[in-house]
Amino acid sequence: MRVFLFLLAILNVVCSVSVAAQERPDWGSVFEKYNVQGTIVVVDGRGEEQQVLVFNQERADKQFSPASTFKIPHTLFALDAGVVRDEFQVFEWDGVERSFSGHNSDQDLRSAMRNSAVWVYQHFAERIGNENAQNYIESIGYGNSEYDVEGDYWLDGTLTISAHEQISFLKRLYLNALPFAVEHQRLVKDVMIVEAGRNWILRAKTGWEGSFGWWVGWVEWPSGPVFFALNIDTPNRMDDLAKREQITREILQSMNALPNQ
């Protein structure tokens, strides 16, 4: 009974959507430190009551292309459609030299997620098909309601999502509450692991469209998860990419939501 009540409490904390967001203007100093414009939403589920913390609420409500953060749901689609069997299946490199060196080799599911190998997911999209992709997106209520599923629609198409909506999706994945096999949801969470300690796990995914970038995910603690979704402008393109993690880590560390490394 105690285990049931504990799980029920976690479920209530994680799924609560009625908590008003608390503005954190002090986090603006972190964005200023790195000389970027952006937003971050942090949902802290470690206490009895969930806390929703946000810097730049207006931007947190604005929808952007998901870019490579879409690899999280896209992997679920590929697993459900049988396009990929498991994390051990190897996808042979086509020999085309790409700008990111990590893309220029054979990939499996784990490396494709870690390296954000676009060509692997282009292969998935082709095998899944546009109609099935649209059905999958609608089944999880992902992002905006009007979009075209054509080409690399998650990179340069009309599919968009906000920082708040990113976290809403991640919460359901955390709970294995998406309309996919539980083993597939667990596998996706496994390949999202960035780092871990004795009593915490960081699961996350970057995204970059060219003019803006994402870092979304959560930190798991015994007391509950801390979700985050950061979106920043990247006027200096690749020179700005490291700032996605730097800003997020600094803010999470200030909350004791992520250990100092």
Say if CB 129 and CB 78 are below 8 A apart: no
Tokens, residue 145: 């309601």
pLDDT-derived band of residue 119, with 50, 70 and 90 as boundaries? very high
Residue 10 in any domain: the answer is: no
Residue 261 in any domain: the answer is: no
Residue 148 to residue 78: CA distance in whole angstroms: 19
Residue 6 in any domain: the answer is: no
In this predicted structure, the answer to whether residue 130 has a pLDDT above a threshold of 50 is yes
Please tell me the predicted confidence (pLDDT) of residue 17.
Answer: 45
In this predicted structure, the answer to whether residue 4 has a pLDDT above a threshold of 60 is no
Tokens, residue 237: 């393109």
Residue 1 in any domain: the answer is: no
Mean pLDDT of the chain: 91
Residue 173 in any domain: the answer is: yes
Q: Where are the alpha helices (DSSP H) in 85-197?
A: 109-115, 118-128, 130-140, 153-156, 163-174, 182-191
Per residue in 85-116, pLDDT (tens digit) is 999 999 999 888 887 778 889 899 999 999 99
Provide the phi-psi class of 210: left if phi over 0, else alpha when psi is between -120 and 50, else beta: left
Please tell me the predicted confidence (pLDDT) of residue 192.
Answer: 98
Q: Count up the domains in the chain and report the number.
A: 1
Lowest mean pLDDT among 62-76, 110-124, 145-159: 145-159
- Report the DSSP beta bridge partners of residue 205: 216
Query: 35: which residues sit within 8 A by CB, 6+ positions away?
Result: none
Residue 4 in any domain: the answer is: no
- Using CA atoms, how far residue 242 sits from 28, 30, 88, in Å, is 18, 14, 29
Please tell me the predicted confidence (pLDDT) of residue 3.
Answer: 38
Domain CATH for 125: 3.40.710.10
Residue 2 in any domain: the answer is: no
Lowest mean pLDDT among 13-22, 116-125, 208-217: 13-22
In this predicted structure, the answer to whether residue 13 has a pLDDT above a threshold of 60 is no
Could you tell me what percent of the chain has a pLDDT over 90?
81
Residue 257 to residue 261: CA distance in whole angstroms: 12
Q: Where in the sequence numbering do the catalytic residues fall?
A: 68
In this predicted structure, the answer to whether residue 171 has a pLDDT above a threshold of 50 is yes
Most confident by average pLDDT, 100-109, 147-156, 165-174: 165-174
Q: What is the domain extent for residue 216?
A: 19-254
Residue 232 in any domain: the answer is: yes
Per residue in 17-69, pLDDT (tens digit) is 457 899 999 999 999 999 999 999 999 999 888 999 999 999 999 999 999 99
pLDDT-derived band of residue 201, with 50, 70 and 90 as boundaries? very high
